[in-house]
Amino acid sequence: MATGVPQYRRPAVPAAPPSPAPPAPAPVSSAARVVQYDTVTVQVRHGLEAVDILRLRRACGAVQQTASGSAIAFLVPAGTALRWHLSGSACTPGAELLPPTDPRWIIPPSGSQPYPRPTDAWVLRSALCEAATTLTAGGLGPL
């Protein structure tokens, strides 16, 4: 039966025994895991409006107020600063994490994880644009 497809045969020589598996890596506890963030900072009014939008979408990660109290800082995944371009906001690499009990947390770290959950950068971008539109329509803009 010739179909134009080559027919493969098993090799006549038995295969070599499998090599021993490499040792398994030591388990890493979640507490030892290093999580890095970038920080998107916006004015307080703009940031609080975006927090409300994100909370309604159940998409808000950890958010903190800056030390001066004049801005809101959203934690986003590391690497976001390389591609962030949105007027009215600034994205800087790295984040200074506050202790979980610090009163400057707007949305504090919660749950069983020892580290804060970041906000998805592109969901945040959408919420910031929507917040700017809402504030402008309400006569509170431009930002």
pLDDT score recorded for residue 6: 54
Output helix, strand, coil percentages for the chain, rounded to the nearest 5: 25, 15, 60
pLDDT score recorded for residue 49: 95
State the amino acid at position 136 in one-letter form.
T
Reported as a single tens digit per residue, the pLDDT across 26-60 is 554 444 455 689 999 999 999 999 999 999 999 99
- In angstroms, the CA 23 to CA 33 distance is 21
State the amino acid at position 45 in one-letter form.
R
Regions of the chain where pLDDT drops below 70? 1-35, 112, 114, 141-143
Full-model pTM: 0.73
pLDDT score recorded for residue 30: 46
pLDDT score recorded for residue 82: 94
pLDDT score recorded for residue 32: 45
State the amino acid at position 121 in one-letter form.
A
